[in-house]
Chains A and B, each alone.
Chain A
Amino acid sequence: MSSDLKNIIEALIFISQDPLTIDRVKAVLEGAPDEEIQAAIDELLQDCEAAGRGIHVVHTGGGYILSTKPDHDRWVRRLLQIERKNKLSSAALETLAGIAYHQPVTQAEISAIRGVDSTYTLKSLLDKKLIKIIGRKKAPGNPLVYRTSERFLQYFGLNSLDELPSEEEIGKILQEEKSSEA
């Protein structure tokens, strides 16, 4: 049964366009005990990491999704005729980090944190769907309020905002930067 369960879940993940949440899996497999489902998923993750596969199941965006393995990047790009995947600009990354830690946040607030007008950067992040507008603030001018999106989590391989770099990780980076310059 348990190997059946694993295969069924693999099929479900294969057919999902967005990360498949464990709740959806449970809803589909009504009656199957939670711990058996979790065990099957864990086993599936292990199977995929083993050699001999071009794709693997990854836990991201709060669910499970199939993706190609990093080693095959250049072949995939060759198929898609893409020279290289665009990375975010440093301004975009800095703005995203600011939003992630301060959300919900307005344009004026994020600009103040960065010391730089962020109107344009916010627009391009909206276009990329990495952030979303969740409403307007009850303040003079009723400015728009922004939050990071589901896609933001997926983009960075995070499952929830709790997985954002912690104070300790940030402290470590700052320490490293300091010592590298000393």
Chain B
Amino acid sequence: MTEQLPDPLLSADAAIDAAAAAATPAEAPRDGYQVRLEIFEGPLDLLLFLIRKKKIDIHDIPIAAITRDYLDYLDRKTQINLDREAEFLFIAALLIYIKSQMLLPRETDLAEQDDPRQVLVNRLLEYQKIKAAGSILREKEEDQILQWRRNFLPPLPGESELDFEEVSLFDLAESFFLMMKRRSAADTRVIKGRDVSYEVKMKELFGLLHDGRVLDFLAYFETQESLEEALVSFFCLLELVKSRQAVAVQDELFQTIRVWLRKDARRTVAHE
């Protein structure tokens, strides 16, 4: 059994840091743990990275050294995301299993295809191929994305309302509470006095929404001075959605909700 020792000059830590610096996170990280893992698409990606950094022949992987680097990487985690952790741990277990198989004494030398590493090598080679094909497809995507076709046209806001997913009243309420929570966290002064009426707010909203303008739901509530005023404007908005005068659209969960008047509603407003 000849296992090469890890190169002390190129520790896995340094290598990972270099990758972290080079990679641009594709999605907004939710926490520190995610930031690190987003660099790698998964455990195979991490393993391939470690193998390349050490300039190891993929067909002759020193399992002990690579397992140590791999586990070092996992040890750096403080918070645990169980879903993804399981996938990383599964490969760690596989590595250790392979090592144990290699340590078992055997009467005869192993034939090539009986190498316990073969399963992992096949998976890595296949994954490597998919990843490379993906990078070629990415180039094609970047080329195609600059050429617009009519059947790919996204609808303009307010023009076609059918393709958007409208949010439910519950989504609206959730965003509202989210906003209120943010506000209570902020250091705010309470100004008393001014009563806000439903009619006035309704007019204000119509004013903001005329000519097919699109209103950023959360940003609008941020501008409300008091809790009472925010509540009244929220009720106005619920009323508009309920009476189907306005459309509320949310691109993604926890993102802002955009609001605009339906076309027919705009007309009735103009007539008033």
Contact = CB atoms under 8 A, between A and B. Distances in A.
Interface of A: 17-18, 58, 60, 65-70, 73, 76, 80-82, 85, 87-91, 93-94, 96-98, 100-101, 113-117, 155-158, 164-165, 169-170, 173-174, 177-178, 181-182
Nearest to A110: B130
Interface string B50-91: 001101000000000000000000000000000110010011
Given A101-B130, A115-B43, A115-B127, A89 B151 contact: no
A170 B133 contact: yes
Nearest to A77: B148
Given A65-B151, A68-B148, 4 more contacts: A70-B147, A80-B156, A101-B133, A116-B44
Given A156-B141, A174-B128, A115 B148 contact: no
B197 interface: no
Nearest to A111: B87
Given A91-B41, A96-B137, A17 B130 contact: no
Contact of A94 (B52, B130, B147, B149): B130
Interface SS, B side? helix
B41 A116 contact: yes
A160 B136 CA distance: 16
22 contacts: A65-B149, A66-B149, A67-B147, A73-B145, A80-B154, A85-B145, A90-B134, A93-B134, A97-B130, A115-B43, A116-B42, A116-B43, A116-B84, A155-B144, A156-B144, A157-B144, A158-B140, A165-B133, A165-B137, A173-B132, A173-B136, A177-B132
Contacts of A156: 137, 140-141, 144
A174 B131 CA distance: 9
B143 interface: yes
Contacts of A88: 138, 141
B27 interface: yes
A114 B41 contact: yes
A11 to B, nearest CB: 15
A17 B54 CA distance: 51
A182 B148 contact: no
Contacts of A69: 147
A174 B132 contact: yes
B41 A113 contact: no
A81 B149 contact: no
A156 B136 CA distance: 10
B146 interface: yes
B52 A181 contact: yes
A155 B87 contact: no
Contacts of B150: 17, 66
Contacts of B128: 174
Contacts of B84: 116
Interface in B121-178: 123, 126-138, 140-151, 153-154, 156-157
A70 B142 CA distance: 10
Contacts of A100: 133
A148 to B, nearest CB: 11
A164 B128 CA distance: 16
Nearest to A82: B154
Contacts of A182: 55
B14 interface: no
B26 interface: yes
A45 to B, nearest CB: 14
B142 A87 contact: yes
A101 B137 CA distance: 12
B140 A114 contact: no
Contacts of A76: 148
Contacts of B130: 94, 97-98, 101, 113-114
